[in-house]
C-alpha cells in the first residue's frame, strides 16, 4: 500500500491547503497518534526483549555473548543510522519516511518472531534497529508538521514522551507475561498488529513536503563500521580474551573512527559538524546522555539476568520487579522541565546524575538472597536519575545551537544515548561472563563512577543559570 498522495512534495501539501478546512483536525490527530504509537512500539520492544533474553537462550541455545548480540544488534543500528535519518526525512517527506520505517519495523518484528536460530534473530534485530532509527526522528518531524503553533506542538511532544514512558513501564511486565504464558516470540509478534494499525492511521495524515537534503555516505559508513567493530571487540574480547580477531576488530574501530573524523572535517556539508563539540552546551549533554543510557539500559540488562538466573524468578516475576521503578520515574519526566525553569539546567542535570549514581551503588550491594523490596528500592533512583537529567540535557542542547541545527543536535544526542546503551550491554556482559555476582557488582559500580564523573563535569563546566 503506497503512502504517496497526489501532490506530495510538488508545492503546497494537502495538509497545508486543508488547515482551514474540515480535514485539518482528523489529519492532525492521525499524525500525532501514528507518531506516538510508533514510538511506543519501539520503546516497548527494547524494554520487553531484555526480560525475554533468558528464555531466548533456553530455546535457541547460544552463550551470553549471543544474547548480548540480540540486544546490541538492535541498539547499535539504532545509534549508527540516527544521524542520516533526518536527511532521509527531508528528502522524501516525513510521512513517507516514517511509513517506510514503520513497515520495515513490522516486517522485521515478524522475522524475529519466527527466527529459527540465534543468528537469524540477530540479523532480524539489525533490520529492526535500522527501521527504528528512521522512525524516531521522523515521528517528531510529523508532530512538527502537524502543529505549527508552538504551544500545541509542545503538548504533542509531551504526549509523544508519555508514550515512551508508558512503554518503559509496561515493557518488562508485558514482556515477562508473554514469555511466561506463551513464548518469547510473542514479544515480537505483538509489534505486528500495532505496526499495521499505525500504518493505517498514518494514511489519514497529511502528506509531508520534501526539502533539499544532503547525504553523507562516507560519514555514515565509517560511523557504522566504528560502532560495530567496537561493540564486537568488547563483547567477544570479554569472553575469548585478546585473540587475533578481537585485536583486529579493535584496530578496525580505531581506524574507522579516525576516518569518520577526517571525513566530517573535510566535507562542506558534513553529517555531523565537528564544531558543535566546541560548545559546552553540546559536549556536556552528549557525554552525559551517553552515561545516562549506559547506566539505565546496562542496569536493566544485568538485573533482568540476575532476577531469572540468580534468584530463579520467572520472566513475569522479573518484569514485576521493574514496575515500581518505571511507574514512579515516569512522573519525573513532567517534573524535570519545571525544575529547569526554576533552578536552571545545571542544577537539575547534576542532581539527576547523582541520584542515578546512588541507585547504582545501592544495587551493587544486593545479593541473590536479598529481600525483593530491598532490591526494588534502589532501582527507583536509578530510573529517577535519568528522568530528571535527560529532559534538562535535551533542553540545554537545543538551546545551545542555532535553530537550523536543532535536528542535527537532537540526532547527535540520541545517537550518543543509544551508543551508551549498546556499549554498556557489551561491557557489562563481558564482566558477567567470568563470575556473575562479582561481575554484576563491578558493572553497577562502573555505571556509578561514570555518572559521578559526569556530575562533576557538568557542575564544573556549565553556568549556574
pLDDT band for 116, please (50, 70, 90 cuts): very high
Instruction: State the cell numbers at 50.
Output: 531484555
Task: Answer yes or no: do 350 and 453 share one domain.
Answer: yes
The H-assigned helical ranges of 331-371 are 332-343, 345-364
Residue 95 lies in a domain: yes
Degrees, nearest 5: CA angle 400-418-422: 145
The predicted-structure confidence for 262-295, as pLDDT tens digits, reads as follows 988 888 877 778 888 888 888 999 999 999 999 9
Task: Answer yes or no: do 32 and 171 share one domain.
Answer: yes
Task: Answer yes or no: do 233 and 85 share one domain.
Answer: no
223/12: higher pLDDT = 223
Burial of 399 (0-12, 13-18, 19+ CB in 10 A): exposed
Residue 184 lies in a domain: yes
Task: Answer yes or no: do 238 and 300 share one domain.
Answer: no
**Which CATH number covers residue 437?**
1.20.1250.20
The pLDDT of 32-61, averaged and rounded, is: 86
DSSP 277: G
3-state secondary structure (DSSP) of residue 119: helix
pLDDT of residue 25: 62
Task: Answer yes or no: do 156 and 183 share one domain.
Answer: yes
Range with the lowest mean pLDDT among 1-15, 115-129, 144-158, 292-306? 1-15
The predicted-structure confidence for 171-210, as pLDDT tens digits, reads as follows 888 888 899 889 999 999 989 998 899 889 988 877 777 7
Number of domains in the chain: 3
Task: Answer yes or no: do 358 and 329 share one domain.
Answer: yes
Judge whether 387 and 354 are in contact, CB under 8 Å.
Answer: no
Residue 13 lies in a domain: no
pLDDT of residue 415: 84
Task: Answer yes or no: do 197 and 239 share one domain.
Answer: no
Last residue of a domain, one of 206, 238, 261: 206
Determine which helix (DSSP H) or strand (DSSP E) holds 169, and give its type and residue range: helix 150-181
Degrees, nearest 5: CA angle 14-17-18: 80
Q: Is the predicted pLDDT of residue 151 greater than 80, yes or no?
A: no
Last residue of a domain, one of 153, 184, 206: 206
Containing structural domain, residue 362: 279-465
Task: Answer yes or no: do 354 and 390 share one domain.
Answer: yes
pLDDT of residue 36: 86
Residue 1 lies in a domain: no
pLDDT of residue 13: 40
Q: Report the predicted TM-score, pTM, of the whole model to 2 decimal places.
A: 0.79
Average per-residue pLDDT for the chain: 83
Angle between helices 406-434 and 118-146 (to 10 degrees): 150
Task: Answer yes or no: do 372 and 410 share one domain.
Answer: yes
Amino acid at each position: 500500500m503506497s503512502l504517496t498522495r497526489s501532490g506530495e512534495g510538488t508545492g503546497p501539501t494537502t495538509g497545508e491547503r486543508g488547515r482551514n478546512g474540515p480535514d485539518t483536525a482528523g489529519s492532525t490527530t492521525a499524525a500525532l497518534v501514528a507518531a506516538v504509537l510508533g514510538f511506543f512500539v519501539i520503546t516497548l520492544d527494547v524494554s520487553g526483549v531484555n526480560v525475554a533474553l533468558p528464555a531466548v537462550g533456553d530455546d535457541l541455545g547460544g552463550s551470553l555473548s549471543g544474547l548480548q548480540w540480540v540486544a546490541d544488534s538492535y541498539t547499535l543500528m539504532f545509534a549508527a543510522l540516527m544521524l542520516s535519518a533526518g536527511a532521509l526525512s527531508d528528502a522524501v517527506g516525513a510521512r513517507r519516511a516514517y511509513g517506510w520505517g514503520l513497515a520495515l519495523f513490522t516486517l522485521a518484528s515478524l522475522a524475529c518472531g519466527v527466527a529459527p536460530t540465534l543468528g537469524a534473530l540477530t540479523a532480524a534485530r539489525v533490520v529492526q534497529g535500522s527501521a527504528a532509527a528512521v522512525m524516531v526522528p521522523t515521528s517528531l518531524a510529523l508532530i512538527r508538521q502537524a502543529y505549527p503553533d508552538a504551544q500545541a506542538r509542545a503538548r504533542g511532544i509531551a504526549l509523544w514522551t508519555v508514550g515512551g514512558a508508558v512503554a518503559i513501564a509496561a515493557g518488562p511486565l508485558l514482556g515477562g507475561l508473554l514469555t511466561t504464558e506463551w513464548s518469547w516470540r510473542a514479544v515480537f509478534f505483538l509489534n505486528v498488529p500495532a505496526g499495521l494499525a499505525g500504518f493505517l492511521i498514518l494514511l489519514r495524515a497529511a502528506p509531508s513536503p520534501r526539502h533539499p537534503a544532503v547525504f553523507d555516505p562516507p560519514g555514515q559508513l565509517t560511523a557504522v563500521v566504528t560502532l560495530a567493530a567496537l561493540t564486537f571487540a568488547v563483547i567477544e574480547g570479554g569472553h575469548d580474551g585478546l585473540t587475533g580477531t578481537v585485536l583486529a576488530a579493535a584496530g578496525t574501530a580505531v581506524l574507522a573512527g579516525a576516518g569518520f573524523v577526517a571525513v566530517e572535517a573535510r566535507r562542506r556539508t558534513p553529517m555531523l559538524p565537528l564544531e558543535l563539540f566546541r560548545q559546552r552546551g553540546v559536549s556536556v549533554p552528549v557525554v552525559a546522555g551517553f552515561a545516562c543510557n549506559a547506566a539505565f539500559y546496562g542496569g536493566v540488562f544485568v538485573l533482568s539476568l540476575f532476577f531469572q538466573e540468580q534468584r530463579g524468578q520467572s520472566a513475569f516475576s522479573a518484569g514485576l520487579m521493574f514496575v515500581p521503578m518505571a511507574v514512579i520515574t515516569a512522573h519525573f519526566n513532567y517534573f524535570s522541565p519545571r525544575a529547569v525553569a526554576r533552578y536552571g539546567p545545571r542544577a537539575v542535570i547534576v542532581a539527576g546524575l547523582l541520584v542515578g549514581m546512588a541507585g547504582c551503588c545501592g544495587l551493587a550491594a544486593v545479593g541473590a538472597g536479598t529481600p525483593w523490596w530491598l532490591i526494588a528500592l534502589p532501582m527507583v533512583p536509578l530510573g529517577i536519575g535519568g528522568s530528571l537529567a535527560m529532559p534538562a540535557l535535551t533542553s540545554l542542547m537545543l538551546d545551545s545551537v542555532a535553530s537550523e541545527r536543532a535536528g542535527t543536535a537532537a540526532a547527535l544526542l540520541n545517537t550518543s544515548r543509544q551508543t551508551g546503551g549498546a556499549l554498556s550491554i557489551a561491557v557489562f556482559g563481558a564482566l558477567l561472563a567470568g563470575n556473575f555476582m562479582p561481575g554484576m557488582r563491578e558493572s553497577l559500580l562502573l555505571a556509578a563512577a561514570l555518572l559521578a564523573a559526569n556530575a562533576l563535569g557538568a557542575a564544573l563546566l556549565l553556568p549556574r543559570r
